[in-house]
Amino acid sequence: MRALRLIACCLPLAVAACGQDGAALRQARDALATGLPEPYFEDLVIEAVLVEGDALVQLVRSPEGRAEATRQHPRFQELREAEQEALVDLCAVPAIAPLVATDARLVRRFVDREGGVFFEVEMPAGDCADASAG
């Protein structure tokens, strides 16, 4: 019985927190989507910003590359690691600040012209607090 009361008490708080995270994600998405598409690096373009569950996803498209062939390149892992390190740059974007206190994840998904996924990089938005402190 005690467990049921605890669930009944805490469930509305959990749902409210999810709603707040969702609202913060949607606000960040809307702010980041303004002015898209925009150049990212060389021929890559940030095409869209999406909310997928607890993730804010930047969709970065390569109009020339092909995901499957690129994944076979001997230096592919270096590229992925460099993009993982570069993800922290999102922390400097003002629209990300409200996500730092949530369970949100920041994701960049790199796709080819046909939607094939090269790779994704991600980090918890809360890591931005550590990035700004360091």
List the domains of the chain with CATH numbers. Answer: 2-133 (3.30.300.250)
Reading the chain (134 residues) residue by residue, the pLDDT tens digits are 443 333 333 333 333 334 567 999 999 999 999 989 999 999 999 999 999 999 999 999 999 989 999 999 999 999 999 999 999 999 999 999 999 999 999 999 999 999 999 999 999 999 998 876 55
* Confidence (pLDDT) at 133: 57
What is the model's pTM?
0.82
* Confidence (pLDDT) at 134: 54
> Which of 113, 119, 40 is CA-nearest to residue 77?
119
Helices (H), the chain: 2-33, 67-71, 76-86, 127-133
* Confidence (pLDDT) at 82: 96
Listed in sequence order, the residues at least 6 apart from 81 whose beta carbon sits closer than 8 Å to its beta carbon are none
Q: Please give the Cα distance from 19 to 16 (Å, whole number).
A: 5
